[in-house]
Amino acid sequence: MFKYVNNTADIELLIISDGKESLITDAVTAFYEVITDTGRIELSRTIRLEIEGDGPEEQIYNLFSELIYLFDTQMFLCGYAEIREIKKHSLVIELKGEKADEEKHAVRKIIKAVTLHNFKIEHHEGQTLLRVIFDV
């Protein structure tokens, strides 16, 4: 006998966009929406990241890992992301946001890790889809 048990240690997102650049920036927005209301984040600080990876999936996975690191070490919250450059093995992204303030930013969930389980990019009917699971 067995039962299905809801697992509250994971959050799975399906991000749907019109192309690669918007998929990446939408993924950043989705990541921070899991943590807090991005509409309350002031764009007072800019962080520029160069992310390496063999292809889009690895680049986005590595980007999520870097976002987790920025939140863990600097409490950085991003309210706006812009792609500056995309190459075959790297991307440059600019993040605008601020340090988390517990009086201003209600924390919904803290993302501990991005998983490779079911992590994939698909193309369907002119749209680009990213499936990702975070450990929270």
Q: For residue 16, what pLDDT is reported?
A: 94
Asked whether the predicted pLDDT for residue 26 surpasses 70, the reply is: yes
CATH number at residue 100: 3.55.10.10
Q: Is residue 3 part of a domain?
A: no
Q: What is the pLDDT of residues 110-135, one digit of tens each?
A: 999 999 998 999 998 999 999 999 99
Q: Is residue 6 part of a domain?
A: no
Q: Which residue range(s) make up the domain with 98?
A: 12-135
Angle at CA of residue 90, ends 12 and 98, nearest 5°: 60
Asked whether the predicted pLDDT for residue 103 surpasses 80, the reply is: yes
Q: Is residue 4 part of a domain?
A: no
Domain count across the chain: 1
**Residue 67: exposed, middle, or buried by beta-carbon count in 10 A (0-12, 13-18, 19+)?**
buried
Asked whether the predicted pLDDT for residue 2 surpasses 80, the reply is: no
- Strand 127-135 relative to strand 113-114, pairing: antiparallel
Q: Is residue 5 part of a domain?
A: no
What is the C-alpha to C-alpha distance for residues 127 and 136, in angstroms, rounded to an integer? Answer: 28
